[in-house]
Structure 1
Amino acid sequence: MSDVMLRRLTRTAPPDLARCIPGERERAVRVLLDKVEARQRLVREIIERPCGQITELTGQLAAAEHTLERLETNRENVLELATGDGTLPPEPPPSGYHEILALFERNGDGLSAREVCRTLCTGTGTGTEPEPGLFALTSPAPKPPETDPS
């Protein structure tokens, strides 16, 4: 007899639920079913949380997309109205414009031109004050000459 056959014959089989003490089979099945149902409830809860978040995020995304579409339409209408009488559409404000407005908002008492220049130029590193009251833009460092790769 082969080793495989011998192992099959001597192996103990799992207990048969049908041969259990009367009532034990039903109790054993009920315990197993209770565990399965508890696990199902847990997995359903795990599924429901992200589904709720997905629903909420989908609503937020749709609202943001709708707002963006409205803003794009508004922009097109304003440009159309501005150019309808032959005038050119407004140009965007120059660089630094928003920084100057923010500077005045932070200093509600008002600023002199010197204070504005000093704050914007020297505070941001875009300029220098070589002499009192004289402001100059910082010139970028010269680029090294390009060498011919051939």
Structure 2
Amino acid sequence: MTRPDAGQADPGTWLLDRIDAREQALTCQIEQTQAEIDTLTARLSELSQAIEHLRISRKTLISLAGEDPAPTQADAPPPAVPEHPAYQQILTVFAAVGGSLRARDLARAMGLPLTQNDIQNVRAKLKRLAGRGILVETEPGLFTQPRP
């Protein structure tokens, strides 16, 4: 902090100049702070609008989930399961497991030998059941029962 020169006649002028400089600095800080507030207020408004859209989407999805699904064709008979006992055994294993199976896992669960020929026969039966809509192939080689 510099003191007034000895040649300066009025020490009050020096103090007033210091007050003016401080006032200008504070005014500049106020303007900068107000600009930051304006920016944050705009951002807050954008975020509020985004969350409101999410809430509306949630309400819409919940209301749609509560509605009855479109009626399915009542005339269509359920798919017919082939009469061979192996198909009945396959469906029994799927009912017991309640999840997805591959041909090798199904052959093991059915107590079949894990030879390439037996696994291919099981895979062919799984594909046949999937083709009739009795099972669903969720990814290549992975079969499951369709959800009601």
Q: How high is the TM-score relative to the length of structure 1?
A: 0.40
Structure with greater contact order relative to length (CA < 8 Å, sep ≥ 6) = 2
